[in-house]
Amino acid sequence: MTANSIGLTKKDYSGAVSTLCTGCGHDLISNHVISACYQAGIHPFQLAKMSGIGCSSKIPAYFMSKSFSFNSMHGRMAPITTGAKVCNADLTMLGISGDGDTASIGLGGFVHLIRRNLPVCYLVANNGVYGLTKGQFSATADKGAKLKSGAVNPFETIDLCTLALDIGCTFVARSFSGDAKQLVPLIQAALKHKGTALIDVFSPCITFNNHDGSTKSYNYVKSHDVVLQELGFYAPQEEVLVDYQEGSKELITLPDGSKILLNKIDSRLHNVHDRLEAAKVLTEARHKGEVLTGLFYINEEESNLIENLNLTEKPLAYLNEQELRPSEAQFDWVMNLFS
């Protein structure tokens, strides 16, 4: 087996055998995460796999068993990831949640994590239904979409990408679990992004939401998918050997020197640094029934939560007694304040 840039083989990135339904889109996500981390040379030690509850949140069990993992509570991935990242900013955080976990029970945590610009790749395996409880609508189901039973969703959908844009998310992308070419570089860039990177991945539920009338089925997503860009990821040491033409291609440098190359396929989004334009393009596409995928918005300027807290270089988690307990002189100073 070939070793990657840090001398590890793909086997070092493997996880447990999946217990999801055969053909589940989520298993493809596991594979893409493995490829992304292996190719980008992200060491399993460095990664923390975070999740909530649901089919989506089982995914971390199926890749990179050498990484620490926190399969938390339903809807609580965001705050738990926040606490962990603040206390050990050296960890690269990969959060994997679902549409129920994020758009319903965890919506509060989701938006507040974004507001704080916590450095995390927040990947939503979005299939529009609750799988583990056997097929109820989730809040990302499109209005008018049908359940297997024929029941029609009368409610407006929550579009995670436009919501994220509205509250200042600094990296907003959408992809399809069947599109390795697009999703692998997106995950790589998201893991290297300075703040919160949302990747809303349409990942069809083979058992409960893959029928006619569903707008999250393989067929529907494939036939309505409009890919905005071709994407390429380059590690810091890699040379970018592409013709770089102003206008159709853009090379964006991430904080550690790695780069993401955008090669525009669809011209409607002119500027991935313009939040308003991204929101407009996305909303228009949704109204037309298109599934727009690609990188919609990126901002590497905005300060993240770790910077705002102005923490010491050494992670809070590793500070020892000597570093944590104030001196006797400081203690005396305090006592004098109250005497």
Q: Which residues bind another protein (CB under 8 A)?
A: 12, 16, 44-46, 48, 60-61, 65-73, 75-76, 78-88, 90-91, 108-109, 111-112, 116, 305, 309-313, 315-319, 321, 323-326, 328, 330-332, 334-335, 338-339
Based on CB atoms, which residue is closest to another protein, 111 or 199?
A: 111
Task: Find the shortest distance in angstroms from Cβ 24 to another protein.
Answer: 17
Based on CB atoms, which residue is closest to another protein, 132 or 252?
A: 132
Nearest to 294 by CA among 181, 195, 215: 181
Task: Find the shortest distance in angstroms from Cβ 63 to another protein.
Answer: 12
Based on CB atoms, which residue is closest to another protein, 15 or 294?
A: 15
As a whole number of angstroms, the distance between CA 259 and CA 117 comes to: 20
Give the C-alpha distances (Å, rounded to integers) separating 105 from 82, 108, 157, 169, 243. 17, 8, 15, 20, 46
Based on CB atoms, which residue is closest to another protein, 152 or 167?
A: 167
Give the C-alpha distances (Å, rounded to integers) separating 249 from 67, 148, 264, 265. 35, 42, 6, 10
Task: Find the shortest distance in angstroms from Cβ 265 to another protein.
Answer: 38
Based on CB atoms, which residue is closest to another protein, 284 or 332?
A: 332
Task: Find the shortest distance in angstroms from Cβ 258 to another protein.
Answer: 21
Q: Which residue has the tokens 């995928």?
A: 293
As given in the structure block, the two tokens for residue 240 are: 């970018």
Give the C-alpha distances (Å, rounded to integers) separating 142 from 2, 66, 145, 307. 43, 38, 5, 38
Task: Find the shortest distance in angstroms from Cβ 49 to another protein.
Answer: 9
